[in-house]
Structure 1
Amino acid sequence: MTDVLLAEDDAAIAEPLARALTREGYGCEIVSTGTAAYERALDNRFELLVLDLGLPEMDGLEVCRRVRAVRPGLSVLMLTARTDEVDFVVGLDAGADDYVGKPFRLAELLARVRALLRRRQPTDEVLEADGLSLDPAARRVLVEGSEVTLANREFELLRYLMERPGQVVSREEILTEVWGSADLRSSKTLDMHISWLRRKIGDDQMSTRRRIVTVRGVGFRFDPE
């Protein structure tokens, strides 16, 4: 059984969500403080942390940063009542793999959970193109020889694009293969991850050629030099 740690201090949200996760076949443990979330998240039996941003004692951002330092492979889905795009960006930058704004549709949240828990089999094939080197087995990315830190979802997104050099990949295909659900096509999730991925690999500089190209109305293309 896959175990999920749910860190949420609002019982009206935590209890129904825990029941839904249990119905989906997951084991689920609830904690209600940031301190407890951090301590329990260090247990390797948990494969996913569903983390509320506004926890008492230690906020979700700090929990995420601390957990990431110890368990970089743990999937983190952040819940937030804040709707400002900056808050979402800060959450992703702290190491969250994905976020869901409150109030959320249960079906969408469960789709995000399923997607985060999907794990592709590791491969030893290192992908190299245009100053980028991606090692799936070691989960390392080098840009011009310097290592950069990517969240799990950013890593999978870059790998998916690099595996298809020169090909236009539709938004629906990316969301289905990387997120596990094309139902997210109306959200800003993909655009946010593309934006942060570009920043981390140096594609956000006006003076440089972009490796990840937007094909308007369709999707994205990885253009190696």
Structure 2
Amino acid sequence: MNQTPLNVLLVEDDRDLAASVADYLLLERISCDHAYNGQAGLTLASENPYDVILLDLMLPRMDGLAVCEKLRAQGVDTPILMLTARDTLDDKVAGFDAGTDDYLVKPFALEELVVRVMALSKRRSGQMQKLQVADLEMDLQSKSATRAGKPLKLTPTGWTLLETLMRASPAVVSRQELEHSVWPDEVPDTNSLKVHMYNLRQQVDKPFEHNLIHTLSGRGFVLKEE
């Protein structure tokens, strides 16, 4: 049994299946919010933090693929497990293209569902298309970044640093974590991060009224709106 309670969102129009899943997850100390149609699921997933989203493919009002695409376009990085009776390769490819992280074919064993949920809960999704904090946006598909609509000129290192900070926001990222994101094998010298962070601030903060990148003495860096 997991030690830290998880919170998942189940978007499933089959009420009997949804009740069975929710009851079983509760036994595993996994709390479960529930939506019976795609539009309601999209709203809940957009407005609340979840560890994992369990998303049925065939849903009223908005199908699972559309929900998944919209969430990724919004920058939601919650891992998504697609639940469906369709098991062809084309169906799976369509799901992954839409931004799902894993696939479980109905009927499935509830024990397997829990195993998948636990695995997905340990990471954020790599499927999202956009990151956003305040008026700062990163489009991960086009590899472009803007603040208040103004394009930012980022070096590859600057891009990696900014992406790391935005994915963690509003949490603090330690100096060591930032260094490892850029130089996973060996940090060049003690001043390298300082120089790159200075250059990043010149792009992200200097031309604008409010700073988004903040240094926390002894802790690291955080990217957030004050």
Indicate the TM-score class for this superposition, using the shorter chain for normalisation: 0.5 to 0.7
Give the 3 Å change call, closer, same or farther, for CA 61–136 of structure 1 in structure 2.
Answer: farther
Q: Does 1:87 align with 2:91?
A: yes
Question: What letter matches 1:22 in structure 2?
Answer: L
Which one of 80, 102, 109 corresponds to residue 105 of structure 1? Answer: 109
Which of 5, 24, 37 does residue 9 from structure 2 map onto? 5
Range with bigger deviation, 93-102 or 39-48: 39-48
Q: So what's the TM-score if we normalise by structure 2?
A: 0.53
Counterpart in the other structure of 1:52: 56
Identity %: 42
CA contact (8 A) 1:79 1:102 kept: yes
Give the equivalent residue in structure 1 for 2:31. 27
Q: TM-score, normalised by structure 1?
A: 0.53
**2:80 equivalent to 1:72:** no
**Counterpart contact for 2:51–2:78, Cα < 8 Å:** yes
- The one-letter amino acid paired with 1:67 is L
For the aligned residue pairs, the C-alpha RMSD in angstroms reads 2.5
| TM-superposed deviation, 1:72 | 3.1
What secondary structure is seen at the aligned counterpart in 1 of 2:163? coil
Task: Read off the aligned partner of 1:44 and give its amino acid letter.
Answer: N
Determine if the alignment matches structure 1 residue 62 to structure 2 residue 87: no
Equivalent pair of 1:34/1:56 in contact (CA under 8 Å): yes
SS at match of 1:29: strand
Letter in structure 1 aligned against 2:23: R
CA displacement at 1:37 relative to structure 2: 0.5
Structure 1 residue 16 corresponds to structure 2 residue 41: no
What CA distance in whole angstroms lies between the structure 2 residues aligned with 1:113 and 1:105?
13
Deviations 1:178-207 (A, max 9, x none): xxxxxxxxxxxxxxxxxxxxxxxxxxxxxx
Structure number with larger C-alpha Rg: 2
CA distance in 1, matches of 2:164, 2:86: 31
List, as ranges, runs of 4+ consecutive aligned residues in structure 1 with deviation greater than 2 Å: 132-140
Query: 2:163 maps to which residue?
Result: 138
Alignment of 1:63-212 (within 5 A): 63-119=67-123, 135=160, 138=163
- C-alpha displacement of 1:71: 3.5
2:72 is paired with a residue whose SS is: helix
Unmatched tracts of structure 1, length 5 or more:
121-131, 141-162, 165-225
Q: Which runs of 5+ in 2 are unaligned?
A: 125-155, 166-183, 186-226
| Distance in 1 separating the partners of 2:72 and 2:19 | 26
Q: 1:96-133 deviations in whole A, cap 9, x for unaligned?
A: 0101011111111111000000139xxxxxxxxxxx99
Q: Is the 8 A contact 2:46 2:76 kept in 1?
A: no
Task: Show CA shifts across 1:1-40 (max 9, x none).
Answer: 4211100000121111011111111221111000001000
